[in-house]
Amino acid sequence: MKTKKVTITHIAKAMGLSPVSISRALANQAGISDELKAKIVEKAAEMGYIKPRKHTPARILVLHRKPYQHDNSNFSYMVQGIEKALQQADTDYSIEFLDKENQSRLILPYRLSKGFKFDGVIFIGRFNPEYVSFIQQEIPNLIFYVGYSPAYDYDSVWFSFLNAGYKQCKYLIDRGHTRIGFLGDISAYRNKEKKTGITSALEEHGLSVEESLFFGRNEAFPARLAGLISERLLPTAFICEHDFTAVELIRLLQKHGLKVPGDVSILSSGNTEVSAYSLPALTTMDLNIEYSCRTVVSTLLKRIAEPGKPAENIAILSTLVERESVRTL
């Protein structure tokens, strides 16, 4: 039979005193005589009262490997979002920048080197696997935010570029586009996933996949773009890896006398500040950063509470933001 938990109210009723008096006595506060305080403590022990443990906030270390200056992405919003989510979760936290050299030399973050203890660590971005293993010896509970790799067997939260690529391509197809190009770093894992999403949408709609229209963002691209224009083989629409890539493409097209979206439609990702102020304003994908940050923190706290649970890979879906850079054919 389950024993009923003894509370301050139970003790107060048994002694004919107020709950406030009982609470003050058990907390050893002033305002109650030592004699009465001793009687209350004795009665509480007799009734089997167990003093509630004080809530101890989780201690979280946040590590990132990207400097704030020259930020051309949503990185600063991600760091701010993580900080806000940690505050909302009532944690103690420390945020540190860690450069590549310290990683390669397996140097502890400053706080750890000074003897601070942490319950969990959040890695923002990609880190060397050797360094991750090194840190895990000090802090066993960890999670990756946006630095996902299929080689990792850790908790991770990132963005579903597979879904974004499919969604972007279908959006263009629904508006009459059949020759759709892509511009971005083809070697990046996120863009390999995005390419899979794009090709899946094309195939499902009975359209051919033209590998020649997937362009790397490199020095050779301006010349390749000029060749497509002169040969009249330019796609009717481009999907760009992020907003800044789209702005660069708009500038290149304008040099050739082409207009967006009059001659070429452009769809990007990130919903950064530049997307709203670009001319034309960019149709883009919002990453839902604030929600993803809350997911990172809640997933790490779940890991701390249940260290033996299976690892989770949570992919947040993006939301389309329609503006002026895509036209219907």
Is the same domain home to 85 and 23?
no
- The pLDDT tens digits for 56-74 are 899 999 999 866 544 556 8
Q: Identify whether 53 is part of a domain.
A: no
Assess whether pLDDT exceeds 70 at residue 313. yes
Q: Identify whether 3 is part of a domain.
A: no
Q: Looking at this protein, which amino acid is placed at residue 57?
A: P
Q: Identify whether 200 is part of a domain.
A: yes
User: Strands 155-159, 313-316: parallel, antiparallel or unpaired by DSSP?
Assistant: parallel
Assess whether pLDDT exceeds 90 at residue 200. yes
Is the same domain home to 265 and 221?
yes
Whole-number pLDDT of residue 24: 84
Is the same domain home to 64 and 208?
no
Whole-number pLDDT of residue 148: 74
Is the same domain home to 183 and 278?
yes
Residue 53: C-alpha distances to residues 4, 50, 56 (Å): 18, 9, 9
Q: Of the given ranges (34-48, 151-165, 230-244), which has the lowest mean pLDDT?
A: 34-48
Helix (H), strand (E) at residue 42: helix 34-47
User: How many domains does the chain divide into?
Assistant: 3
Q: Identify whether 323 is part of a domain.
A: no
Is the same domain home to 188 and 251?
yes
Q: Of the given ranges (146-150, 193-197, 306-310), which has the lowest mean pLDDT?
A: 146-150
Beta bridge partners, 156, equal 144, 313
Domain that holds residue 87: 59-159+289-314
Is the same domain home to 170 and 228?
yes
Q: Identify whether 310 is part of a domain.
A: yes
Q: Identify whether 165 is part of a domain.
A: yes
Q: Identify whether 322 is part of a domain.
A: no
Is the same domain home to 152 and 298?
yes
CA distance 105 to 82: 27
- The CATH code of the domain that includes 228 is 3.40.50.2300
Is the same domain home to 167 and 278?
yes
Q: Read off the pLDDT band of 278 (50, 70, 90).
A: very high
Is the same domain home to 39 and 109?
no
- The chain-wide mean pLDDT, for the chain, equals 91
Q: Identify whether 26 is part of a domain.
A: yes
CA distance 214 to 216: 7
CB 325 within 8 A of CB 280: yes
Q: What is the pTM (predicted TM-score) of this model? A: 0.80
**CB < 8 Å & 24+ apart, contacts of 99-102:** 99/65, 100/65
Is the same domain home to 126 and 150?
yes
- The pLDDT tens digits for 206-258 are 999 998 899 998 888 999 999 999 999 999 999 999 999 999 999 999 999 99
Is the same domain home to 234 and 253?
yes
Assess whether pLDDT exceeds 80 at residue 3. no
Q: Looking at this protein, which amino acid is placed at residue 1?
A: M
Is the same domain home to 191 and 261?
yes
For residue 270 the two structure tokens come to 């990130």
